Structure 1
Amino acid sequence: MEAYVTLTIENQVGFVEFFHPNRNSMPSDVLSKLEQTIIDAGKNDAIKVIVLKSGGDRTFCAGASFNEVIAIDNELTGKQFFLGFANVINAMRKCPKLIIGRVQGKTVGGGVGLAAATDYCLATQYASVRLSELSIGIGPFVIEPAVSRKIGVTAMSQMTIDAETFFTTEFAKEKGLYSEVFATTEDLDLAVKVLAERLASYNPDALREMKNVFWKNTENWDALLEERAEMSGKLVLSAFTKKTLKRFR
Structure 2
Amino acid sequence: MTFNRKSHRNAINSQLLHELNEALDEAERDSACSIVILEGQDGVFCTGMDLKEAMYFDDQTALNPMSMQYMRTLKRFASTRLIIIASVDGQVIAGGVGFCAASDLVIATPRSQFSLSEAIWGLLPAMVLPYLIRRTGFQPAYRMTLTTMALTAEEARLVRLVDELDEQPERWIRKWSQSLERVTPSTVGHIKGYFRKIGMITDEMERLAVEEISRLVTLPEVKSNIENFLEHQRFPWNK
Q: Which has the higher helix share?
A: 2
Matches within 5 A, 1:118-157: 118-157=103-142
Question: Is the partner of 1:125 in helix, strand or coil?
Answer: coil
State the match for 2:216 in structure 1: 235
Amino acid at match of 1:171: E
Distance 1:89 1:75 in 2: 21
The structure-2 alpha-carbon separation of the partners of 1:248 and 1:32, relative to structure 1 and needing over 3 Å to count, comes to farther
Distance 1:216 1:151 in 2: 18
Match of 1:168 among 152, 176, 183: 152
Establish whether residue 216 from structure 1 lines up as the match of residue 188 from structure 2. Answer: no
State the match for 1:24 in structure 2: 10
Question: Is the partner of 1:121 in helix, strand or coil?
Answer: strand
Establish whether residue 41 from structure 1 lines up as the match of residue 27 from structure 2. Answer: yes
Aligned 8 A contact 1:35 1:87 in 2 = no
The structure-2 alpha-carbon separation of the partners of 1:110 and 1:98, relative to structure 1 and needing over 3 Å to count, comes to same
Matches within 5 A, 1:185-204: 187-200=168-181, 202-204=183-185
Aligned 8 A contact 2:107 2:163 in 1 = yes
1:43-102 C-alpha deviation (Å, 9 max, x unpaired)? 421112222222x12111000001001221111112222223212101111201221111
Question: Is the partner of 2:192 in helix, strand or coil?
Answer: helix
State the match for 2:235 in structure 1: none
Q: Structure 1 residue 248: deviation in Å?
A: 3.4
Distance 2:51 2:114 in 1: 18
The structure-2 alpha-carbon separation of the partners of 1:96 and 1:166, relative to structure 1 and needing over 3 Å to count, comes to same
State the match for 2:237 in structure 1: none
Establish whether residue 96 from structure 1 lines up as the match of residue 77 from structure 2. Answer: no
Question: Is the partner of 2:45 in helix, strand or coil?
Answer: strand
> CA RMSD of the aligned region, Å?
2.0
- Which residues of structure 2 form unaligned runs of 5+? 231-239
Q: After alignment, is 19-28 or 144-153 more displaced?
A: 19-28
Distance 1:244 1:234 in 2: 15
State the match for 1:226 in structure 2: 207
Aligned 8 A contact 1:130 1:166 in 2 = yes
Establish whether residue 244 from structure 1 lines up as the match of residue 229 from structure 2. Answer: no
The structure-2 alpha-carbon separation of the partners of 1:220 and 1:182, relative to structure 1 and needing over 3 Å to count, comes to closer
Distance 1:43 1:234 in 2: 36
Match of 1:52 among 30, 38, 53: 38
Distance 1:123 1:89 in 2: 19
- Which residues of structure 1 form unaligned runs of 5+? 1-15
Q: Which has the higher strand share?
A: 1
State the match for 1:182 in structure 2: 166
Q: Structure 1 residue 131: deviation in Å?
A: 0.6
Q: Report how many residues are paired.
A: 229
Distance 1:217 1:37 in 2: 29
State the TM-score, normalized to the length of structure 2.
0.87
1:115-154 C-alpha deviation (Å, 9 max, x unpaired)? 0001111001122111111111110111111000000111
Distance 1:228 1:194 in 2: 35
State the match for 1:69 in structure 2: 54
Distance 2:200 2:138 in 1: 19
1:3-53 C-alpha deviation (Å, 9 max, x unpaired)? xxxxxxxxxxxxx32221211101111112212322442342111222222
Question: Is the partner of 1:102 in helix, strand or coil?
Answer: strand
State the match for 1:110 in structure 2: 95
Aligned 8 A contact 1:98 1:208 in 2 = no
State the TM-score, normalized to the length of structure 1.
0.84
Q: Which runs of at least 4 in structure 1 moved beyond 6 Å after TM superposition? A: none
Q: Structure 1 residue 236: deviation in Å?
A: 0.7
